[in-house]
């Protein structure tokens, strides 16, 4: 099919117009670094300042904001994560939430479980924190070596876990290769070894179907500024399975995670619920754009979003094979859509220069060392025509 035919057949095509600049001519292949804003979000923020913050002032905390990290978390859990209410919260950065949840898991690890397991191509922050926390707590890191165009398979994981494993930290979709890990199967392998698993959902939330409760996941974190279009540095989200609430404890014990914050008593007494994982005053302004995006995600449905995401990446791979392979470009992402998330990485020794050329032409992919052109095809805001135009530009840059 031609790009025009693919767009005509796309049941989600009408939603594109709701995003700022989707019709601007710019080719945007970086929705997995920073998603486009919804048009309604600008006015929502203006109104928030003048009406809710400016009008309700401190009363806004009682009326909505105090619960917002949890109500927004519940809604995200329902619409995008497959999580029942009371397990998801929004706030802090992904890095801070990783620190809090990894610490919560390792601080509660049984005697003798002194290993943290992570793969060598996980996102840098995940690797840095696992390394730092292991050093801090006198534990070991067990590294899973992965191929850069793949990720953590069941076999690799099964070889790495055992009776010394405390926690496994895995990305659901690998930030470089887009390898889509098998959520339920890997969770089962970790549990069979008697350990806990923390899923990093940064590159999957909003693009790939996630079912944390059904997988039996223990912990998860993710960011809202990629496929959840909540804006630069928007707050992250965390998930703690209901069975761990009241049992796992995080170390950054601020007043907002207290069972009764305004008691202001001498001792920190954790909230019995997932609130205990909140630390300081929640970042309300930064949370608001996510509300708008969740409306659209719910309207479209995650199954349809995933279907379009697959169609976009399949189309990109088809164009790679026909248009770019002759120039020596190779696919650094899985070919099987069941093993691939919402982006595609293409390798070529000159991709750094290609990226610079493309940016000057308003074609915006991401570059990732050593030679990867990473194309993040945000399903709700990207058209097949946009993909086709982008590939023409990549081809011209290589030629």
Residue numbers annotated as active site? 123, 200, 225-226, 374
Which of 12, 80, 89, 92 is the binder for a second copy (CB under 8 A)? 92
Interactions with a second copy, residue window 346-385 (CB under 8 A): 359, 364, 366, 368-369
Output the smallest distance, CB 343 to a second copy, in A: 13
Residue 328 is a binding residue for a second copy (CB under 8 A): no
Which of 3, 7, 45, 211 is the binder for a second copy (CB under 8 A)? 45
Closest CA to 210 of 95, 303, 97: 303
Residue 16 is a binding residue for a second copy (CB under 8 A): no
Ramachandran class of 7: left when φ > 0, alpha when ψ lies in -120 to 50, beta otherwise: alpha
Binding track, positions 261-280, relative to a second copy; x by CB under 8 A: xxxxxxxx----------xx
Output the smallest distance, CB 290 to a second copy, in A: 11
For residue 284, count CB atoms less than 10 angstroms from its CB and return exposed for 0-12, middle for 13-18, buried for 19 or more: buried
Cα torsion angle, 213, 215, 220, 222, sign: negative
Stretch that binds a second copy, among 34-42, 164-172, 209-217, 295-303 (CB under 8 A): 34-42
Stretch that binds a second copy, among 121-129, 295-303, 312-320, 328-336 (CB under 8 A): 121-129
Total residues contacting a second copy by CB under 8 A comes to 84
Which residue lies nearer to a second copy by CB, 251 or 328? 251
Which of 5, 17, 23, 43 is the binder for a second copy (CB under 8 A)? 43
Structure tokens at 282: 């929640």
Interactions with a second copy, residue window 225-254 (CB under 8 A): 225, 231-236, 251-254
Which residue lies nearer to a second copy by CB, 327 or 367? 367
Which residue lies nearer to a second copy by CB, 287 or 300? 287
**Can you tell me whether residue 300 is helix, strand or coil?**
helix
Residue 256 is a binding residue for a second copy (CB under 8 A): yes
| Percent helix, percent strand, percent coil in the chain, to nearest 5 | 45, 15, 40
Which residue lies nearer to a second copy by CB, 82 or 231? 231
**Can you tell me whether residue 166 is helix, strand or coil?**
strand
Which of 80, 183, 282, 342 is the binder for a second copy (CB under 8 A)? 282
Pairing of strands 27-28, 363-364: parallel
Element (H, E) at 213: helix 212-215
Contacts of 255 (CB under 8 A, 6+ apart): 261, 264, 280
Stretch that binds a second copy, among 57-65, 75-83, 293-301, 322-330 (CB under 8 A): 57-65
Closest CA to 205 of 241, 237, 232: 237
Which residue lies nearer to a second copy by CB, 68 or 157? 68
* Distance between CA atoms of residues 235 and 220, nearest Å: 14
Structure tokens at 102: 């990894």
**Can you tell me whether residue 237 is helix, strand or coil?**
strand
Which of 170, 223, 388, 398 is the binder for a second copy (CB under 8 A)? 223
Residue 285 is a binding residue for a second copy (CB under 8 A): yes
């Amino acid at each position: 099919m031609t790009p025009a035919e693919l767009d005509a057949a796309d049941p989600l095509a009408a939603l594109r117009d709701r995003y700022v600049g989707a019709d601007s001519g710019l080719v945007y292949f970086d929705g997995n670094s920073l998603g486009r804003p919804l048009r309604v979000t600008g006015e929502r923020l203006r109104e928030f300042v003048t009406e809710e913050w400016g009008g309700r002032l401190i009363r806004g905390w009682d009326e909505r904001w105090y619960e917002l990290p949890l109500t927004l978390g519940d809604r995200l859990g329902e619409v995008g994560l497959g999580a029942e209410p009371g397990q998801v919260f929004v706030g802090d950065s992904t890095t801070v939430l990783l620190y809090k949840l990894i610490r919560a898991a390792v601080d509660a690890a049984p005697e003798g479980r002194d290993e943290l397991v992570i793969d060598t191509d996980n996102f840098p922050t995940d690797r840095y924190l696992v390394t730092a926390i292991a050093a801090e707590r006198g534990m070991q890191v067990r590294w899973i070596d992965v191929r850069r165009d793949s990720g953590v398979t069941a076999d690799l994981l099964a070889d790495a876990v055992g009776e010394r494993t405390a926690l496994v930290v895995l990305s659901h979709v690998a930030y470089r290769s887009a390898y889509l890990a098998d959520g339920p199967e890997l969770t089962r392998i970790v549990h069979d070894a008697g350990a806990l698993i923390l899923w990093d959902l940064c590159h999957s939330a909003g693009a790939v179907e996630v079912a944390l409760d059904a997988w039996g996941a223990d912990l998860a974190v993710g960011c809202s500024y990629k496929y959840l279009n909540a804006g630069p540095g928007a707050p992250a989200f965390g998930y703690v399975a209901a069975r761990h609430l009241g049992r796992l404890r995080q170390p950054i014990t601020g007043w907002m995670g207290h069972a009764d914050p305004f008691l202001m008593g001498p001792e920190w007494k954790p909230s019995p619920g997932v609130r205990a994982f909140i630390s300081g005053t929640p970042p309300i302004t930064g949370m608001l754009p996510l509300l708008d995006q969740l409306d659209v995600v719910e309207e479209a449905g995650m199954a349809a979003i995933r279907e379009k995401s697959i169609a976009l990446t399949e189309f990109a791979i088809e164009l790679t094979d026909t248009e770019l392979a002759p120039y020596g470009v190779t696919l650094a992402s899985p070919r099987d859509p069941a093993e691939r998330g919402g982006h595609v990485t293409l390798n070529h020794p000159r991709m750094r220069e290609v990226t610079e050329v493309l940016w000057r032409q308003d074609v915006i992919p991401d570059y990732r060392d050593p030679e990867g052109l990473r194309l993040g095809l945000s399903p709700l805001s990207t058209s097949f025509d946009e993909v086709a135009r982008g590939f023409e530009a990549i081809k011209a840059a290589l030629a």
